[in-house]
Chain A
Amino acid sequence: MRGGRGEEESDFEAFVDARGPRLLRMAWLLTGDAHLAEDLLQTVLARVWPKWRKVADDHPEAYVRKALVHTHASWWRRRWRGEVPHGELPDRAAALDAYEGVELEQSLAAAVRALPVRQRAVVVLRYFEDLSVEETAATLGCATGTVKSQASKALRTLRAVLPEQVGAGDDRG
């Protein structure tokens, strides 16, 4: 059992400090957009905070990851998330080196947006968060076979959008 509210708050802030960067990258991969990613992360953190006492004792990162995926899916269901025009591109703390990195990031963002929301979630959990098929299935609440088939379809799409980066361009799915 954890201490008072102050301690709970410090604990939550420490979690956000430590895991926020990774969670934000995950949110970016789900949304394909820096601003939407921050919006998604803040939305989820605001939902998690009031439950932090319970969440903190039971693998909080997994809980937040799941909340990110499900919140993003609910956004997707509820409304179209179009591209958001930005006055300026967000700064990057550790920018990908040189122009090639930026190009790759933009290509990946486009590829991510080309994926249906479920496939996107599978790619994020399975290949970015490196969860097993079983863990991914548990997070998404679906069968392991679904994870495998969605991953395969996602890879086919990514190969088509990013032929130089993913596979040789042939369909080995």
Chain B
Amino acid sequence: MTVDDERELRDLLERAVPRLPAPDSRMRRVRERVVRRRRRRTAAVAGACVAAAAVLAGTLLPGSGTEPGPALVPPAGSASRDLLRHSELAGLTLELPPGWHGLTVLEDPGAKMRAVAYAAPQPLGSGRDACARDGAEVCPPLDQLPKQDGALLILALDSTPTLAGKAQSPPRLDRMAVGELCRGLAASHEFYGLIKVPGRADAVVGATLCASGGPDTAGRYAEVVRRMLADARFAKYASPPPTSASSAPVEY
């Protein structure tokens, strides 16, 4: 490589690398990330303590080691049959229809959308198996939908600024062309909707419904999900207060 080559390259980079504006919300978002990291760490430590206590209890309590029972420590996500709540999706809470299953994933390092909530009429896995699939926006908690009658609702926060203005109340759920995510689940139908987050002009919750089976089956699931989304609730969103010299740097 010659000196001229190097000079040309330096000049090119200086000219062509764009000077991007800093978003006004950068520091707020950095603060939020710091708080989330702390919460995750705290939760991980608490989980480890619970696990250790469970092991100790199993070891020390007479007779307790012989009884098979449910796992005391849930996997990374937590499942519920009645309510689906997700603290990282602006506190989204959905009431699950009878027979539906929910799963929240707080931190999915294998996917682009890290914090995701799922709901489906069939049981869900831990959400970890599919993370090996490279290029995934999310790591769905199942490999494929049941062929004739299956559905998976995927909820993730989307901070694309233009989307907030497009979200309607009650949320619409529109039929879409089947995209890569739903195709990967062997779904034959896809629907998409946006849920407004009260007090947030910078984010919405995107809802993708993948459904298998015929149009009637898919339409039935879409209707169920529309009703579910219409009743979506959020925890009150608090903007970070102005900082002061005496306050801790990241605790909001």
Asked whether, in the complex, the Cβ of A79 is within 8 Å of the Cβ of B250, the reply is no
How far is it, in angstroms, between the C-alpha of A78 and the C-alpha of B139 when the chains are bound?
13
Asked whether, in the complex, the Cβ of B163 is within 8 Å of the Cβ of A34, the reply is no
Whole-angstrom distance from the CB of B139 to the nearest CB of chain A? 10
- With contacts A158-B9, A165-B8 known, is A49 near B16, CB below 8 A? no
Point out the residue from A34, A47, A162 that lies within 8 Å of B18, measured CB to CB.
A34
- With contacts A5-B247, A46-B34, A108-B17 known, is A123 near B22, CB below 8 A? no
B34 to A, closest residue via Cβ = A46
Answer whether residue B27 sits at the interface, using C-beta atoms and an 8 A cutoff: yes
Range of interface residues on chain A? 35 or more
Within 8 Å CB of B111, what residues of A?
A: 79
How far is it, in angstroms, between the C-alpha of A111 and the C-alpha of B215 when the chains are bound?
44
Closest 5 CB pairs of A and B: A6-B245, A46-B33, A9-B249, A80-B135, A87-B162
Within 8 Å CB of B243, what residues of A?
A: 6, 9
Q: Please report B residues at the A interface, Cβ cutoff 8 Å.
A: 1-2, 5-6, 8-10, 12-23, 26-27, 29-30, 33-34, 37, 109-112, 134-136, 160-163, 243-250
Answer whether residue A166 sits at the interface, using C-beta atoms and an 8 A cutoff: yes
Pairs A–B under 8 Å by Cβ, sample size 21: A6-B243, A20-B26, A21-B20, A34-B18, A42-B26, A49-B30, A50-B34, A79-B136, A101-B16, A104-B12, A108-B16, A123-B9, A123-B13, A127-B6, A127-B10, A128-B14, A155-B5, A162-B12, A165-B16, A166-B12, A167-B8
The proximity string for A residues 62-104 relative to B, scoring 1 for CB distances below 8 Å and 0 otherwise, is 0000000000000000111110001110111111100001001
- With contacts A78-B110, A87-B160, A162-B12 known, is A155 near B1, CB below 8 A? yes
Within 8 Å CB of A107, what residues of B?
A: 16
Within 8 Å CB of A162, what residues of B?
A: 12
Within 8 Å CB of B37, what residues of A?
A: 46-47, 50
Within 8 Å CB of A61, what residues of B?
A: none
